[in-house]
A = this chain, B = another copy of it.
Amino acid sequence: MVAGGEWASILHFATVGAATIGGYSEGGGMSEGSAESTSALLRPIRMGNSFEETVERLLQMIHLGVYAPGESLPPERELARRFGVSRDTVRDAIRSLGEAGYLVTLRGRYGGTFLAKTLPKAPQPEGGQLPDLDIDDLLTVRELLEVATVRVAARRALTATERDTLWTRLTDVQAADCENYRRLDSRLHLTIAELVGSPSVTAMVADNRMLVNQILDRMPLLERNIVNSNEQHHAIVLAILTGDKERAVQAMEEHLAGTVALIHGFLGASPSRRAPLLPDDDL
């Protein structure tokens, strides 16, 4: 009913011609016509099913230190509303995380879902490293986002509350033991991202950080690195508070370079897995 005979005949030549000179080509060799950024634009639409994504988001809130151990999460109905998923899905996710030891649910009024007082340790993936992440891509995004974030934060005029919060987060992570370091570290970086004042930016930083943490969880947390990070955190926060944009950027760059060196050193010359595996069959 659409694209009748006239259209077909009219377009016929144009199409074949275009397909020849610049159209889609399967072999990977791209004719110069246009289409070379297709790999990024043809990325998967869904990263997982609703259940998995909901679990991921709850874990995000837990691991990035948004809620403290023992603290209460919003009620299921509220979570479902905010996440835009059904309550069933939220419940499934909460039940899973409950079985994993992250959450505890209590019924009745003033009940709810609570973070466990002691969070389970991230299991060391001994044999199979499931996530299959593009490490270079992750670290590039991280560098780009965090540097840009600190740059904007440093040139903003912060409120007294923001300054207080920032400083509190800094002292929290300075005083953290190994057990809680990763979480409080993430919370500090998230707080800096929030200073930009854009929910989307906060979300992007949070997403990236979760993925980077998945990599960091595979390698040991050295005392020496913590001392280093603490100094760098201090420099970063100070630069933000004094509005020294250049210094803030430089401090953050040094901070990130440390992590990059750690990761590359630990992974050796591992060829940084790419290309997230597409199904190979043809239906």
Contacts and interface: CB of A to CB of B under 8 A. Distances in A.
Nearest to A46: B84
A interface bracket (residues with beta carbon within 8 Å of B): 35 or more
A204 B208 CA distance: 12
A73 B197 CA distance: 39
Interface stretch (A6-14, A225-233, A262-270): A6-14
A66 B145 contact: no
A260 interface: no
Contacts of A201: 140-141, 144
A282 B2 contact: no
A60 interface: yes
A71 B23 contact: yes
Contacts of A191: 37
A106 interface: yes
Interface in A25-55: 26, 33-46, 50, 53-54
A203 B43 contact: yes
Given A45-B83, A68-B22, A71-B19, A114 B34 contact: no
3 residue pairs, one from A and one from B, having the closest CB atoms: A23-B72, A44-B84, A40-B202
Interface of A: 2-3, 7-8, 11-12, 14-19, 22-24, 26, 33-46, 50, 53-54, 57, 60-61, 64-68, 70-75, 77-79, 81-85, 87, 95, 98-99, 104-106, 110, 112, 114, 116-117, 134, 136-138, 140-141, 143-145, 147-149, 151-152, 165, 187, 190-191, 194, 196-204, 206, 278-279, 282-283
